[in-house]
A and B are shown apart, each in its own frame.
Chain A
Amino acid sequence: MSDVREFLKGNEALAYGALRTGLNAYFAYPITPSSEIPETLATEFARSTFPDFRTFLQAASELEAINMVIGAAATGAKAMTATSGPGFSLKQEGLSYAAGMELPLLVVDVNRAGPGLGNLGPEQTDYFQATRGGGHGGYPTLVLAPSSVPEMASFPALGFDLAFAYRTPVILLADAFLGQLKEDLVFPDVPSPSYDVAWAATGARGEARHVLSSLHLELADQSRHSRHLLDKRTRIAQREQRAEEVGTEDAEIVFVAYGICARLARRAVRILRSRSIRAGLLRPITLAPFPERRVRQLIEQGRRKFLVVELNAGQMVDDVRLAAGGAANVELLGEMGGLLPSSLDLVRAAEAMAR
Chain B
Amino acid sequence: MTAAAELYEPKLGALPTLTGTPTHYCAGCEHGTLTRLIAKAIDELGVRERTVMVSSVGCSVLAHEYLNVDAVQAPHGRAPAVMAGIKRVRPDLLTFAVQGDGDAVSIGLLELLNAANRGEPITVFLVNNAIYGMTGGQMAPTTPSGMVTTTTPAGRDPVTTGPPIDATRLVAAFESPAYVKRVFLPILPTPSPRVFNARGALEGAKAVRHAFEVQQRGGFAFVEFVSTCSVNWKLGILEAKRYAAEVLRPLFPPGLYRDRFAVEGR
| Residue ranges of A at the interface with B (Cβ–Cβ < 8 Å) | 24-25, 27, 54-55, 57, 59-61, 63-65, 67-75, 77, 79, 93-94, 97, 101, 201-205, 209-215, 217
Contacts and interface: CB of A to CB of B under 8 A. Distances in A.
A157 B49 CA distance: 32
A210 B93 CA distance: 14
A59 B68 CA distance: 31
Nearest to A214: B73
Interface string B44-72: 00001111101100000110100011111
Given A54-B88, A70-B81, 10 more contacts: A24-B89, A64-B84, A64-B111, A67-B74, A68-B85, A71-B84, A72-B89, A94-B75, A205-B49, A211-B70
Given A63-B111, A209-B69, A203 B75 contact: no
Given A60-B114, A201-B72, A203-B93, A55 B52 contact: no
B74 A70 contact: yes
A161 B134 CA distance: 39
Contacts of A69: 85
Given A54-B88, A68-B84, A204-B48, A97 B73 contact: yes
Interface string B73-95: 11100100111111111100100
A217 B24 CA distance: 12
Given A204-B49, A211-B70, A63 B78 contact: yes
B73 A212 contact: yes
Given A203-B93, A215-B61, A215-B73, A71 B54 contact: yes
Contacts of B72: 70-71, 74, 101, 201, 212-213
B88 A213 contact: no
Given A71-B54, A74-B52, A79 B85 contact: yes
28 contacts: A25-B88, A54-B88, A63-B78, A64-B114, A65-B81, A67-B81, A69-B85, A70-B85, A71-B72, A71-B82, A74-B82, A75-B86, A75-B89, A77-B89, A77-B90, A79-B85, A97-B74, A97-B75, A201-B71, A203-B50, A203-B93, A204-B49, A204-B69, A204-B70, A205-B49, A211-B71, A213-B64, A215-B61
For the complex of A and B, 6 pairs with smallest distance between CB atoms: A71-B85, A68-B85, A67-B81, A213-B73, A71-B82, A60-B114
B188 to A, nearest CB: 33
Nearest to B113: A60
Secondary structure of the A contact surface, majority rule = mixed
A212 B69 CA distance: 11
B29 interface: no
A74 B85 CA distance: 9
B interface, how many residues as a size bin? 20 to 34
B90 A75 contact: yes
B70 A67 contact: no
B71 A71 contact: no
Given A203-B52, A215-B62, A25 B93 contact: no
A213 B72 CA distance: 6
A64 B86 contact: no
B74 A55 contact: no
A75 B82 contact: no
Contacts of B86: 71-72, 74-75, 201
Contacts of A63: 78, 81, 110-111
